[in-house]
A and B are shown apart, each in its own frame.
Chain A
């Protein structure tokens, strides 16, 4: 039975990894905003040991004052070395751990309720739309979620076997998950409390202490760094993410005529609305992914709609598994959205730890159906398969065509176009604005650097005031003020075509079109 279990799980994990790795360089169509920061920092650490702000081996990466968690960036260094500066060099780690998660959830499921439960959990996670989506992008949250899953797996092993090395590994991974993403800062202590609470009769208080100490010791540098960041940069973006400091709530608080008591109540209940939002049928099953614009026919939730009955059956039958484990699983499920709810409604990645317990509950439901009615089981499996085919068509075929702006499409393509003739020009001017009306602001510095325009050292030694790195000048162009003393090449937004006197001096050399056919950037060169 053991061999069959591993055979199934490895097979399912391989299938899951295909969905996560196939066309990784083409879908999503361009490295996204958060991804490019991670990509650059990882590359910069590899080449210089510093981030772009000259911090040596930082514990949080300042980036655009968001102070990113460090785990992904450091673990990505070997992958960046292996694949180089391209999509695989930043996304592969996420795809790899996303595939590993399929195997891991099978192991956790097996600990919860046996081989069948493990296999079914692996099957459901392998086809999970949200897991596939986040595994195909460089998200720190995805890595942190998998590390957390490892910690829980070793915790279950410790509870079953009482081997101290399992406890140490569990503590190590709990601590590391805090290095992985901010959600885990709050979730890990809650899960540790929960596990103690449910197994305090089986495992004495004294035996839990090493787990807590290891977790705290591993996580301590991160919290120390957090305190230092708050002292040195109190208005950083990360600290404005808590719900009562968001623009909406601050606006309400400052401008509303309501009495103080009502204001306090209004602000205090906001996280409750956010929390409820995570359990909404719409966000879970019909539109939470927000892959396509509103009111489009293709909408998908975090989970396949066909798996909804499994969740209901699983919740009703939680008692089928051991009492403490079922309580822990339910607690894990209910606690996962607590920290994200303190920051806002359902967001793209903050609530990824929610996926694993939901899948495990669904797997319990699937096992119950399997044991009670085989026909019904196969029918549900078929429906899940059909549902997945719809998701796959939408995601792999249509999604790349409509999402250019979301991923700052065009910077890579523009650089690759001009690369053969860079030497001909003295200055390359690149606009950070993009979009039909120039309404977005991008990160050309990082994109151009990552694709080879300049080295990590040049980035570190840049002059922030002039926005120049080597021959690259990042600025929004005002054609009325632009002078052409030098031999310049311009990459500007479609919203800012050349006008007035400049028309006489420049010619349009190339247009950079998005996958939907709309133009994103215009490249101008001096007239011969």
Chain B
């Protein structure tokens, strides 16, 4: 918005630290990171899309969409079905799968025309549960593989098979990492741009007072619909990429504990509607969770969830964005001091 509009040069300067972090992150494999931890980061990149999807819509409008696993899952299944029954390679099936999923996800949006708050949240949560039941029950289970899911060749499999055996897995790992980095970077840029645009402020106004937003001249239905579509696109892209990289696709993808709890935690810990906070929190949530395996083993879930509860109780408006703002202020203060000294 105009009030805080900055010059192009100033905006470019502000982008530099973010670009430096992104470049350093993308250079991790070149610095020796590989194997299991590269897979963890790939998963974190894909989960970033879900966290952003949640934050962009639910974090701004406060329509808490707990139906995100439905979007993720239908996209994953659409990709698998397109490959298995229509012969479309997963490389070409990603975009159509995303579009199918976005279209189906309007089933989540419809209740928001009548209800909001807890009612919308509960209704949206029912959809992935119904979907999980449908894909594992007759007659759909015959078509969708039931509990075993649908098997298909993974992304870039044909090319990987042309490589020597020892190079196949490293090639796939590295390719998946960079594909997910590209998707995460684009998703972050789009989400940030949208969340802090005029349109993003309209989304926020709906979250703060929908009636007042409408009385201020905002077409709240259109704004919610557009916001929801962008948000669903991100979640669907996450689902399709995840399915393309880790076949088979099973009903596990619809289970909220798998595809909702980590990004939802990231959104709350990060600071709802801030985009930056949930993005950083997404990596912290997933990396710390994996790291704890080596420290406390099977107790990690108990330990980790307890930690999250404490953090949320201490700072319900989000820890990460708060720390980020404090850090930014401290760094700006230090730079100011250095400049004054010079």
Do A and B truly interact?
no
Residues of B within 8 A of A (CB): none
